[in-house]
Amino acid sequence: TMGNWLVNHWFSAAVLAAWLGINIFLFTYYFLFFDWDERYFYTRAILGSALAWARASAKCLNFNSMLILLPVCRNLLSFLRGTCSCCRRTLRKQLDHNLTFHKLVAYALALFTAVHTIAHLFNLERYNHSQQATDGSLPAVLSKMHLHSSNKWLNPIHSNQTTVEYVAFTTIPGLTGVIITLALILMVTSSTEFIRRNYFEVFWYTHHLFLIYFAGLVIHGIAGLVRGQTEESMEEVHPHRCAQYLTQKDEDCSHNCCKDPEFGSIPAESWKWVLAPFLLYVFERILRVWRAWQKVVVTKVVMHPGHVLELQMQKKGFRMEVGQYIFVNCPDISLLEWHPFTLTSAPEEDFFSIHIRDAGDWTKCLINTCQQQMPRIEVDGPFGTASEDVFQYEVAMLVGAGIGVTPFASILKSIWYKFQQADQTLKTKKIYFYWICRETGAFAWFNDLLASLEQKMAESGKADFLTYRLFLTGWNSSIANNVALHFDTATDTVTGLRHKTIFGRPMWNSEFAAVAAAHPRSVVGVFLCGPGSLAKSLQKSCHQHSSLDPRKVKFYFNKENF
């Protein structure tokens, strides 16, 4: 219901409303300013309202360019997550929407770039038309002012042979505008889900065009082609008094309006908006490079069934929390490519590990290289994610799809260690774990961990602490026949575990209803590492099964984001 949505998302809605509100305010304020301000009376005589459209969208472009880098400053987000550990859960959860906000700001940049570009195409056409006009109209007179004095010009086009294309590719604003727009188009189109999943390298390299985007943005307004009347000139020859005399000036003019108006450029100010976040991002990248140079020792390499590679590593000063992720680089494959991987080890272990599935060119190369010889590995991180908060909840529902089980491997291992050490601070009382997988081979590397946990929980007298369900979504007749033959055995024929594998997909409504019935007064954390379609159905179930009564069950949805 709408009520449940507002309860769960009020802070997200507030942030979104603030961002939209500032954009609307900036656009409206500067549109009216350039459409009404008397300093631009003569500029509007040539350009009309296209001036206001161009300037208002430019302000919004500056504002969103200021924001675009902040959500991808991973160290900043990890720092904020650490300092917010005592904050309300709602505030911490906002940090998990960093990429959603990054995309939202990028779409706004694309929209305002389109408005700005179209407005300036109209402006160039009107500048050109006014320069060629010989009818003695105000735009025509204003366009010829450069003939009287080189510094009094208002129209940047001084020749009748100039075309819009010529201005676009030979002036600083024109050329930088074309470059910025092309860079933005390439970045937006290459960041679609399909490209990121299947051609990560394309996404990775094109996204570094942001350097060209910011360089072009800072240079873009330096030439100051759009001008307005200077304050001194306004006092001497105010357009309300003197505009009419420009088109009918006598040779022997003697009144107050004889002097020609003087014009000055609008100062470039994009750098003021983007300097601080850009410097913050530069510091972020320097920190990443420094950490990447620190030596990583690969202590163990395990090749699991289903073409999954496990790397166990050690690095001086490396400290992790459950569910965190690292970026991995292999210089032998590519000097520039860094790929994110969730840590599958627990903080209690003396190494950190990742599981790598063959899912693209880079991962295929890494797996093949590791099977022949051990290449040099560089690591950046760890960085925080939503899964860090799992022990903040009394009840947790963990949902992993395929290789998306990796953050939960870390959590389940950590729980195993906490039970071994009889940790009294463990707030979590119950964990429900769901793993949805296409093929049986993918279960193999995870079986040992689940078997150890089953045994440990039973020995500790807490066999009901962990309830897990394994869902197999792809199977053939031989698997089905094997299951039918061994239906009454104590362990599962697919995994060898006590809990039987379920064939098909989970019925989330009944799963959530069962959890809500078992824990009527608990706060339940729902954690997903999986596709967007699954996220939507889980989010919907969270809203449907959360009670509006603050004393009753609440489901909070968390999703892994890279």
Which pLDDT tens digit goes with each residue over 270-305?
Answer: 999 999 999 999 999 898 888 888 899 999 998 887
Strands 430-437 and 395-401: parallel
DSSP string, 56-99: HHHHHHHHHHHHTTGGG-HHHHHHHHHHTTTS-HHHHHGGGGHH
Q: Which two tokens mark 443? A: 């279960």
DSSP string, 154-194: --S---TT--HHHHHHHSHHHHHHHHHHHHHHHHHHTTSHH
Beta strands in 305-338 (DSSP E): 308-315, 325-329
pLDDT at 481: 47
Express as a percent the part of the chain with pLDDT over 90: 31
Which pLDDT tens digit goes with each residue over 417-443?
Answer: 877 777 777 788 888 989 888 765 655
How far is it, in rounded angstroms, from Cα 60 to Cα 63?
5
How far is it, in rounded angstroms, from Cα 415 to Cα 541?
26
48 or 147: which carries more pLDDT confidence? 48
pLDDT at 78: 77
Q: Which two tokens mark 112? A: 């305002």
pTM of the entire structure? 0.76
Residues of the chain with CATH 3.40.50.80: 386-403+414-444+453-473+499-530+539-561
Q: In a 3-state reduction of DSSP, which class is residue 534?
A: helix
Residues of the chain with CATH 2.40.30.10: 294-384
pLDDT at 111: 96
Q: In a 3-state reduction of DSSP, which class is residue 459?
A: helix
DSSP string, 244-258: HHHSS--TT--STT-
Which pLDDT tens digit goes with each residue over 477-489?
Answer: 554 544 444 444 4
Residue 364, Cβ neighbours under 10 Å: how many? Answer: 14
Which pLDDT tens digit goes with each residue over 194-219?
Answer: 888 778 788 888 999 999 999 999 99
Using the predicted structure, report yes or no on whether residue 494 has a pLDDT greater than 50.
Answer: no
pLDDT at 175: 92
* 209-218, 375-384, 480-489, 550-559, range with greatest mean pLDDT: 209-218
Say whether domain 386-403+414-444+453-473+499-530+539-561 belongs to CATH 3.40.50.970.
no
- Tell me which CATH code domain 294-384 carries: 2.40.30.10
